[in-house]
A and B are shown apart, each in its own frame.
Chain A
């Protein structure tokens, strides 16, 4: 068995090489955080700021989850920004303008997303119009719709109710009473969820290791395996600690975690997910393998449309109002996040987790530069340069493999 006689150094090196993109993303994220921490004089890495950071980017991360599917299948969706904004505005109008039942308002917003997905999927999958064009068309249409829905630069307030709670609310304390940091030291429910998450991760990791041994695949030696488990556990603990020691976990963030888990499952464990990767990897081969490309593509656009509406609802709730500017440049922020997160612009490659970390990375840049009071014009320039360099790095490191 050749593999057994590999030296530790070789294993570490080859492991590092195959996973360099993932590690690089983490490292880049940590480096960016440290730079901002130094520049801001210690204001960046605080539970308060990081908790804000996570909250601010939930809607982009939700969009990124859908965009991974779209881009893995070899397409693009430029409409998600104005579509999301419009969906949020429609819900706000229905609830506070027309006094609909809140659930009906939410259902209306979601159906806007689903119908848009159907519309776009139809043109892309069944009529062969490039997704770039179809979604550019929707981009323009929904920019028009949102201006129609929210007149004259006014905003529609959404300051209570489920949409508001969903975007701005936090999980309740279970046993402790009072404000975190003042009356009580931490948020008990968030802490429990954090512990649960870590335990679940351990179970998953050990089971998957057991399976790999059973299948005769290479596994990490114990020392590295333990190192990985410790590192990831610290990471999970960190994410939960940020919220545990501030005001607790937000509903939106909890939703994002569940959504991400669902789509990790879909992309890695289901026939549907496998087909999407095959279509993006080689459309012709996928077709001749008996995959129904049209129906799969249609579903990907429906999922994206729905998630765009969800992101719009989260954003509306967080802002406590719908405005005609909601949705501006979301599509580009999302695509940047997804691409920085390792998804190929050519299709066939990309992960949900990578995209969410990408969203966090781009969000950290926004948050950090805002914290430092840098002018918006420089923020754009710097983001542009970093996006380009990050993708260049991703491409070259993939080539080396």
Chain B
């Protein structure tokens, strides 16, 4: 028997017009954690879909051997019979059902179609214990955090007797603590002999957890090695393999000179939309200055997104109180429209659900928030004016402006008539950014602007942020990736449980200090 738990040899897979995988080989040893890294579109997901039978035998060329035995999977069930289970980035759980119902969904503990709930309960308890989740099997999924849901997914995989576990960006939505916990669980599973394929953009994490690393680029397998081999793997080396070029620095920091205060928030308090007594934001006051990047750090659930959503026309929460001043003038935003008109814009962390209309083209998405500017009978000369007349769209103007942003943001697309659902993550993000730039904001809040996009596009977005600062826009950067906040911001606010616990200039902001404040240190 070979030392590999599975081998994929010379895998090629074509989509109409694109060669997604070109002669890729991928071999994983039994009981190791093997990281699969590469930019978006490098072919990681496609490769895993071939492995799991989503792309059935016959739709690709090449060979797959599991434990030395040649296999031809026709669907997911086939691969699961061989112990291969994939956990996708978007969790496949039914939020209104409870843990044990989810765990055995489609695979119920039953006899003659009648479910044995007692047995299911006991088994669920066992699996939950294995993943270190201390909650009742009858807890509904909506009452669990993202990190806990992730663990339920793993428990579900274990219930299917998974021997090879594929995790696609498992920590993308997790905070530091949950991520650590997840990695701990994975190590425990490894010690029990479970093999793990770990797909992630977080290279630091990859180095921490992986035994071996395989890098894909443009559908080719570029490099594969043990983490300790060849003098050890580093982030720089990985990035070089991934992008095929040297990035001088991950973060293009530029010195900015903060000017006068553009926006000031005083005593901002927000209650939870459902839980009556719970304050999500508790008496927060801060200032944003012209020409600075204000970083917002904090653990997930600290209230970062909630703070800015509630500022953005009361788009979150209940019983909101406090004051907003823009250029020294007091403002009341009843809706996002009011905020946009005053020059305060918010780019959502969830571009697919809250940023884009996926079925519309680049053109319509770009101009969506500022159609007055391209309509002939629309009036919006001054920001004070409350009435916006519904106008007739001037297509010529619309095309010109959209072309301008496509060029400025280097959006890669054959045409501005392309539907945004067909664009890559990075280009989608640029379209949303274009939409907000077109509103000519004074303050642009970027909530997780680089989540789920590849290294190259990340870098372009960082450069763009610097460019915007030069043009006099103020930027608020919310990110779960601390290195990003530290690498780009001029000043960092740390939020903990709805309060600002730290306010640090970048020279003083270190990872340790931020974590100290983020965990409530005083």
Where the two chains meet, the residues of A that have a C-beta atom closer than 8 Å to any C-beta of B are: 3, 211, 214-215, 217-218, 269-272, 274-275, 277-278, 281-282, 284-292, 348-349
- What chain A residues lie within 8 Å of B391 (beta carbons)? 270-271
Question: Is B286 in the interface zone, CB < 8 Å from A?
Answer: no
Q: Which residues of B contact A217 (CB under 8 A)?
A: 415, 417
B residues in contact with A278, CB < 8 Å: 357, 360, 364, 368
Q: Which residues of A contact B339 (CB under 8 A)?
A: 290
Question: Given A270-B391, A289-B369, A290-B336 in contact, is the A284-B354 Cβ separation under 8 Å?
Answer: yes
A287 to B312, CA, bound (A): 11
- Check B435–A277 contact: CB distance below 8 A: no
Q: From residue A206, how far is it (CB to closest CB) to chain B in Å?
A: 16
Q: Which residues of A sit under 8 angstroms from B346, Cβ to Cβ?
A: 288
**With A269-B393, A288-B315, A289-B336 given, is the CB distance from A274 to B399 under 8 Å?**
no
Q: Which residues of B contact A269 (CB under 8 A)?
A: 392-393, 395
B window 314-343: CB within 8 A of A: 315, 335-337, 339-341
Q: Which residues of B contact A291 (CB under 8 A)?
A: 337, 368
Instruction: Report whether A285 and B393 are in contact in the complex, using a CB–CB cutoff of 8 Å.
Output: no
Asked if B368 and A274 sit within 8 Å, CB to CB, the answer is: yes
A-B contact pairs, 29 of them (CB 8 A): A3-B414, A211-B396, A215-B396, A215-B399, A269-B393, A269-B395, A270-B375, A270-B391, A270-B393, A271-B371, A271-B392, A274-B371, A277-B357, A278-B364, A281-B360, A282-B353, A282-B354, A282-B357, A284-B353, A285-B354, A288-B312, A288-B315, A288-B336, A289-B336, A289-B340, A290-B335, A291-B337, A291-B368, A348-B359
Most buried by A among B335, B375, B390: B390
Interface contact B348-A288, CB-CB below 8 Å: yes
B472 located at the interface, meaning its Cβ lies under 8 Å from any Cβ of chain A in the complex? no
Report whether B414 and A290 are in contact in the complex, using a CB–CB cutoff of 8 Å. Answer: no
Cα A275 to Cα B364 with chains together (Å): 10
Contact B358 A282 (CB under 8 A): yes
B356 neighbours in A (Cβ, 8 Å): 282, 285
CA distance A322 to B315 in the complex (A): 49
Given contacts A217-B415, A274-B393, A278-B368, A290 and B340 within 8 Å (CB-CB): yes
Interface centre among A211, A269, A282, A289, by most chain B C-beta atoms within 10 angstroms, is A289
In angstroms, Cα B346 to Cα A348, docked, is: 23
| Best-buried of B355, B368, B399 by chain A (most CB within 10 Å) | B368
A285 interface neighbour in B337, B353, B392, Cβ under 8 Å: B353
What are the residues of chain B within 8 A of A272 when measuring CB–CB? Answer: 390
- A282 CB → nearest B CB, Å: 4
CB distance from A15 to the nearest CB of B (A): 13
**Within 8 Å CB of B369, what residues of A?**
289-290
Given known contacts A214-B396, A269-B392, A288-B346, what 14 new A-B pairs fall within 8 Å (CB)? A211-B396, A218-B415, A270-B375, A270-B390, A274-B368, A277-B364, A281-B360, A285-B356, A286-B368, A288-B336, A289-B336, A289-B340, A289-B368, A291-B337
B372 within 8 A of A: yes
**A290 (CB) vs chain B CBs: closest residue:** B337
State which of B341, B357, B390, B392 has its C-beta within 8 Å of the C-beta of A286: B357
Contact of B378 with A by CB under 8 A: yes
**B390 contacts A289, CB within 8 Å?**
no
Q: A3-B414, A217-B415, A278-B364 are in contact. Are A270 and B357 (CB under 8 A)?
A: no
Q: Knowing A274-B371, A290-B340 are in contact, say whether A281-B392 is a contact too (CB < 8 A).
A: no
Chain A to chain B: the 3 pairs with minimum beta-carbon distance, closest first: A281-B357, A290-B337, A289-B369
B353 proximity list for chain A (CB < 8 A): 282, 284-285
CB of A399 to closest CB in B, whole Å: 12
CB proximity of B443 to chain A, nearest CB, Å: 15
Bound complex: CA A288 to CA B346 (Å): 8
Task: Report the Cα distance A281→B375, complex, angstroms.
Answer: 21
Q: Which residues of B (219-258) have their CB < 8 Å from a CB of A? A: none
* CB <8 Å contact, A274 and B364: yes
Q: Which residues of A contact B415 (CB under 8 A)?
A: 217-218
Q: How far is the CB of A263 from chain B (nearest CB, A)?
A: 14
> Closest Cβ of chain B: how far from A351's Cβ, in Å?
13
In Å, the complex CA distance between A388 and B439 comes to 44
Query: A217, A269, A278 — which one has the most chain B CB atoms within 10 A of its CB?
Result: A278
Cα-based distance from A289 to B432 in the complex (angstroms): 10
Are A271 and B354 in contact (CB-based, < 8 A)?
no
Q: How far is A289 from B431 in the complex, measured between Cα atoms in Å?
A: 13
Nearest-neighbor residue (CB-CB) of A282 within chain B: B357
B355 near A288: Cβ-Cβ < 8 Å: yes
